[in-house]
Amino acid sequence: MSTSVPRPNTPLSSQPARDAVPRQLIVTASAVIFAIRDWSLWVLLRNGPWGPPMRLVLGSESVSDAVERSLEALLVWPAQASLLQLKAGWQEQQVYVWGSTEQGAAVSLIHSILLRANRDELRPNLHLQPVPSLHVSWVPVAEIESGQRSIDPDVLPGVLNAVYTLRSHVQRDPGLLLHYLADMSTMKNLLDELEQREQEINKETRPLNVVKEPPTGDGILTLVEAALLYRAFVPSDEQIDLANLRQRFLATNLLEPVNEERPVRGREREWRRVSRAYRYLG
């Protein structure tokens, strides 16, 4: 399916051994990484073609190792960052190996990953990655589904399949959202974050080993926050029965009421936006 093209007037014997043998198949590992930003669902996509962050699987590593290496290149704490990881299946796509004449069809294993809370701290300056194929940015899922943001048509089915898989899991297990909220200390406003990023745009990227892990939450959450988080996962045109959703959260037996009310994170600027607090018992 894929062969190397020798350069003109170059003796075959002078080529490296790896170029002398045609590669029959290029295997890649793609990670579709999701995050919650300002109570909406976002996905991390490559700025170039081929969609989500991708890594070629070397002969000496497994596919799962390649997924971990992709996360290490994109995130600061991959081991601690993944709150949920789902395998969404295989897809075939065209691949061009950066810095090589090699190209051809590839089979990619797609993973969908929901980052742990405080996701705003879980990234270096992603636009300054030394490898061009790893230049990525956050994109609202709603913009992709509505057609406002176009991505490579060979990749779109895999991304949408990962979104569907993630949504199905959240709908079956709402307790996952309670776990996420218990781990989350703050919810940054997206406009505030963009202003901060504008101020830091001329600063050099800090080495990963000096970036501190974000603080975790104190395990206290509100049902209003749980409903906001649930709404972030469903399509914008889907109706939600809030009374039923509240009962589903309480039926998990993972919440203990505490004698206080708390501002709804990310909604502190709204007047009197407080709600009864619960302690997560998971």
DSSP per-residue codes, 155-214: THHHHHHHHHHHHHHHHH-THHHHHHHHH------HHHHHHHHHHHTTSPPPPGGGSPPP
18: pLDDT confidence band, cut at 50, 70 and 90?
Answer: very low
First to last CA, the chain: 49
pLDDT of residue 166: 93
As a whole number of angstroms, the distance between CA 59 and CA 248 comes to 46
Asked whether residue 41 carries a pLDDT value surpassing 90, the answer given is yes
pLDDT digits (tens, 9 = 90+) for 224-258: 999 999 999 999 889 999 999 999 999 999 999 99
Of residues 82 and 35, more confidently modeled: 35
Q: Among 245, 246, 244, which Cα is nearest to 278's?
A: 246
Confidence category of residue 108, pLDDT binned at 50, 70, 90: confident
Q: Where are the domains of the chain?
A: 12-280
Give the pTM: 0.79
Tell me the mean pLDDT in the region 116-141.
71
Amino acid (1-letter code) at residue 169: H
For residue 90, list its beta bridge partners.
109
Q: Beta strand pairing status for 103-115 and 54-56?
A: unpaired
The CATH class that applies to domain 12-280 reads alpha beta
Kindly report which listed range (147-151, 154-158, 185-189) carries the lowest average pLDDT score.
185-189
Cβ distance 37 to 190 under 8 Å? yes
What is the pLDDT confidence band of residue 265, given thresholds at 50, 70 and 90?
confident
| Summary mean pLDDT of the chain | 77
The burial class, CB within 10 Å (0-12 / 13-18 / 19+), for 38 is middle
Confidence (pLDDT) at 191: 61
Rounded mean pLDDT, 154-173: 90
